[in-house]
Amino acid sequence: MSLTKEWDWEKGFEDRWLEPIDEAYSYANRWKRLGFKDVLDLGCGLGRHAIYFARQGFNVHAFDLSQEAVDYLTKWAAEENLPMQVEKANMLKMPYPDNSLDAIFSIHVITHTDTEGIRTILSEILRVLRPGGEIFFSLAAKECYRWSFKHWPMIDENTLQCTDEGPEKGVPHFHADKAFLRNSLSGFKVRQIQLVNSWISDDIEVNRWHYYLNLAKKG
């Protein structure tokens, strides 16, 4: 059985979780040019990207495993009079019909499962995306210092489970490598895969490497 676990937002709230990442701006522009309408914020957290995409005129769907996060986003959207569908759900079984979404945006979420879970989620993404629809998402990479040191217990050959105190305690962290990606993306057209060292804290490089992937559903 695949693993996943919600963040504890009472321990993890920071102002940065309310600001969209830079990629949200570029993908909003791209998806507008492509005429996409229905966008999913997968693992929406407090809703920074769902709110941004709704402001840009998309028909936004959003879900998270955390009820606290869902409640926060629901209130935020209501305050801004932004209609969107927000619900508590698990990424291992998404609550959407087949071929119902044009695009999916998900940052540092899908990686929070084990190897079997990743395969399940990729299958679910293919199910809910329309042919030609796109997803942008991230996966932790094995270049990350956490994988090198393995100071967390291993769940399987690609996954560690956080034991640190804080919002991610108990959360699994899948780590991808090039071989896994080559063998796991059938059904998708790869538009771009980047290996990004995306985290700098107090001028100290902490080597939290991620793959940033932009894929389109074939067909």
Confidence of residue 203 (pLDDT cuts 50, 70, 90): low
Q: How far apart are the first and last CA of the chain?
A: 30
pLDDT score of 202: 61
pLDDT in tens, 139-191: 999 999 889 888 899 999 999 999 999 999 999 999 999 999 999 999 999 99
**What is the overall mean pLDDT for the chain?**
94
Nearest CA to 210 among 158, 150, 154, 137?
Answer: 137
204 confidence band (pLDDT: 50, 70, 90): low
DSSP-assigned letters across all residues of 22-55: HHHHHHHHHHHHTT--EEEEET-TT-HHHHHHHH
Q: Which residues does 3 contact at the CB level (< 8 Å), separation at least 6?
A: 113, 114, 117, 155, 159, 161, 172
Three-state secondary structure call for residue 93: strand
All domains in the chain, ordered by first residue: 17-217 (3.40.50.150)
Report d(CA 151, CA 29) in Å as an integer.
Answer: 40
pLDDT tens-digit profile of 50-77?
999 999 999 999 999 999 999 999 999 9
Contact 44, 64 (CB under 8 A): yes
